[in-house]
Chains A and B, each alone.
Chain A
Amino acid sequence: MRKLYTGLAWTVAGAVVVQAAAIAFAFGGMLNLVSEGGVVDKALLESFQAGGVGELGFMIHGLVGGVLIPLIALALLVVSFLVRVRGAKLWAAIVFGLVVLQVTLGFSITDVPYLGLIHGANALAVVAAASVAALRMRRMPRQEAATASPTTSEEAKSDAVEA
């Protein structure tokens, strides 16, 4: 379970790196399209057939950010309840919360462009939180799980509050 937790946390962090790469590629492609005389307008964006170099980047960013990362973060939160390590639930919850915020910001950027400033910064917060979650698991001495097991499960549930 610890391995799964660590793996999921690293996957979230890695997926954010993919997101940064995809969106930079997407805007590069869009600028390339414009520099070659193409026009980007609402008609083009909504047609989902721009055919430009960077279009794949927007698709990846939407799919990974809108579907994949939220699902992994949710899985991490679920798994955290099965890992009896101090702080596991708290950090999974932080990751999940930041991801929810990130998705909400992403869907609101069209309406309020300034939210993009937070969206970019919050991405780094997601990476940081997911990395901390993964690293803590490695740093935690194995016996902490062992010392936790003889105690009642009610105590384990209070991890999130204590940490």
Chain B
Amino acid sequence: MPSRRELVRRSALAVAVATALGAGALAWSSTLLGEYSVMDMGAGAAEGGHGGHGTGTGAGAGAGAAAGEVSVTSLTADPDRPADVRVELVARQETIQVPGGRAVEGYTVNGSSPGPEVRARQGDLVEVTFVNESVADGATLHWHGIDVPNAADGVAGITQDAVPVGGRHVYRFEATDAGTYWYHSHQVSHDQVVRGLLGAIIIDPAATSATSTDAAADVTALLHVYGGQHTLNGRVDDERVDVSPGETARVRVINTDQGTAAVWSDAPYRVAAIDGHDVNGPTDVDGQRLLIPAGGRADVAVRAPHHGGAVRLHVGGARSIVIGDPAASAPPVRQPSETVDLLAYGTSTPLGFDPTSPDRSYDYVIARRFGVIDGRPGNFWTINGRMFPDVPMFDVSEGDLVTMRLRNDSGDVHPMHLHGHHIVVLSRDGVAASGSPWWVDSLDVRPGESYDIAFVADNPGIWSDHCHTLPHAVDGLIAHVMYDRVTTPFTINGSAGNHPE
């Protein structure tokens, strides 16, 4: 028979345990997101600014149909303009035959992965009809790196509902900037991109453009890992490009994987373009590798040897392209440990705006800590010290010049990708950019690094600004740039089943 003291002790313990469990359950359930709109995210975002500017006017979510509100669905390309390029892309959930390797379960576009390469000319109006034949979770197409009108951005739950099986969605945009881009699903993207719902889209310069290069060959090198197999344009094999001695091949490397890809050669090469923007005055890179962030692209110009033979360009860790005499061999070479620094590559030229007097100024500081997101415990990413969905909203007005400080206080590299805009790097760790303006849509921020970047808010809408190592986005590394008075009727986690990450 326990003593009275023991009884009191035990009941006190029982009450304490019950209270702790109850409080724990309450705290846990408060992290459940349920159905939500991105418009409700990021209260108090203006605090994130470090320049004293950017007192957000706010989108006025829930303020009713206030005059001047614009829905993302109305932010389209000219609806009356006939399309110059028409493509139908059909997504299926099926086995991908990987030539040279073993088949893997995944997603195809028009029966293959990567899907067909879409090709347009600068200034064309591109119209893509997307059909979901059998992707159970629904799917979308996002035009990675193309500054499309917001309605065509393809982010499930923000700019559209995920296209269900049997559904279709039309994307229309003007191909404004020539360059190398890619398309991929932005619905359950950490799974659908990894397993193949993607393809290349190349925009050739307008005929009159001075940027049309003297390249004798123009080849695409789309990198993707299927079930542990490194592929080049979908094949577990290297490729050859037949060009005459002394001629140049332009190799458009597209990194569709989740991590940084290295490009190198033992012959000099030039970085002709980054993320669809030509480099001004590129010089020979010799004995250095070029690193391409996840989601990023680089056009690399390689000259075949003047007196015959061939040059091997390594693209990614496992594949390469041999350029020159198709009969000649070029042995693999070791990857250089030095990296070409794009901060000081090429020739400087004016940006066209003064980044020292921005209209808005924000911080985007990445760190990591333990916590619970949507009822799921884990070691999650934080933005400005706060965990999803309590992350900042970057409010902007059309025409604003926005600067942002991207800082990585975590131990992993993060390829940061802003939708709908290109950002220009102003400085890294306090060292000002001194080369060709470094315009990117995907930027690797390594541990401990800090980048000052700027962009012009010239494309109204609601735009994701996230890490393109897509599982990181699932774990909370995603924020948004929101133009004032822009609203979205779409929601995440609701009946439409939208899960953009």
Contact for A110 among B223, B377, B411, CB less than 8 A: B411
B230–A43 touching, CB < 8 Å:
yes
Bound CA–CA A43/B471 (angstroms): 13
Q: How far is the CB of A76 from chain B (nearest CB, A)?
A: 16
* Least CB separation from B257: chain A residue: A43
Contact A43 B13 (CB under 8 A): no
With an 8 A cutoff between CB atoms, is B233 at the interface? no
* Nearest chain A residue, comparing its CB with the CB of B447: A111
Choose the segment among A2-10, A13-21, A44-52, A131-139 that binds chain B (4+ C-beta atoms closer than 8 Å): A44-52
Residues of chain B with a CB closer than 8 A to A107's CB: 368, 379, 411
Q: Is the CB of B79 closer than 8 A to any CB of chain A?
A: no
**Alpha-carbon distance A50/B261, docked complex (angstroms):** 16
Q: Is the CB of B223 within 8 A of A43?
A: yes
User: Which residues of chain B come closer than 8 Å to A42, judged between CB atoms?
Assistant: 257-261, 294, 317, 413
B residues in contact with A109, CB < 8 Å: 411
A47 touches B262 (CB 8 A): no
Interface centre among A82, A109, A111 (most CB of B within 10 A): A111
A50 to B226 CA separation, bound complex (whole angstroms): 9
Minimum CB–CB distance for A144 against chain B, Å: 18
**Nearest-neighbor residue (CB-CB) of B20 within chain A:** A78
Contact between A41 and B228, CB atoms less than 8 A apart: no
**B9/A43 in contact, CB under 8 A:** no
Let me know if B294 and A46 touch, CB within 8 A. Answer: yes
Distance to closest chain A CB from B477 (angstroms): 13
Please name all residues of chain A whose beta carbon is closer than 8 Å to the beta carbon of B230 when the two chains form the complex.
39, 41, 43-44
A153 in contact with B228 given A39-B317, A43-B317, A46-B258 (CB within 8 Å): no
For A66, the chain B residues whose CB sits under 8 A away are: 379
Q: Are B262 and A46 in contact (CB under 8 A)?
A: no
| Known contacts A39-B230, A39-B318; is-contact A44 B225 (Cβ 8 Å) | yes
Residue B316 interfacial (CB < 8 Å): yes
Q: What residues of chain B lie closer than 8 Å to A52, measured between beta carbons?
A: 228
Contacts of B326 in A (CB 8 A): none
Q: Smallest Cβ distance from B442 to chain A, in angstroms?
A: 14
User: Are A111 and B412 in contact (CB-based, < 8 A)?
Assistant: yes
* Complex contact A41–B379 (CB within 8 A): no
Residues in A whose Cβ lies below 8 Å from that of B9:
153
Q: Which residue in chain A gives the minimum CB-CB distance to B6?
A: A149
Q: A158 interface residue, CB < 8 Å from B? A: no
Cα of A50 to Cα of B229 in the assembled complex, Å? 8
Measured between beta carbons, the chain B residues less than 8 angstroms from A48 are 194, 471
Shortest distance in angstroms between B142's beta carbon and chain A's nearest beta carbon? 19
Flag if A41 contacts B318 (CB, 8 Å): yes
Q: How far is the CA of A50 from the CA of B377 in the complex (A)?
A: 25
Give Cα A66–Cα B259 distance, bound, in whole angstroms. 22
Q: Which of A38, A41, A50 contacts B259 (CB 8 A)?
A: A41
Chain A residues, CB < 8 A from B294: 42-43, 46
Enumerate chain A residues within 8 angstroms of B255, measured Cβ to Cβ. 43
Q: Does A108 belong to the interface (CB within 8 Å)?
A: yes
Residues in B240-286 with C-beta less than 8 Å from chain A: 255, 257-262
Whether A41 lies near B471 (C-beta < 8 A) is: no
- 9 A-B pairs with least C-beta separation: A42-B259, A41-B317, A46-B258, A43-B257, A39-B318, A51-B228, A111-B411, A46-B259, A50-B228
Query: What residues make up the interface of B, taking CB atoms closer than 8 Å to A?
Result: 9, 13, 104, 194, 223, 225, 227-230, 255, 257-262, 294, 316-318, 368, 377, 379, 411-413, 447-448, 469, 471
Give me 16 A-to-B residue pairs in the complex whose CB atoms sit less than 8 angstroms apart, sorted by A's number. Answer: A38-B228, A39-B318, A41-B230, A41-B259, A41-B262, A43-B230, A43-B294, A43-B317, A44-B228, A44-B317, A47-B258, A49-B104, A107-B368, A109-B411, A110-B411, A111-B412
A positions within 8 Å CB-CB of B: 38-52, 66-67, 82, 107-112, 153
Q: A41-B262, A107-B411 are in contact. List 5 more A-B contacts (CB 8 A).
A: A41-B318, A47-B258, A48-B194, A51-B229, A82-B13
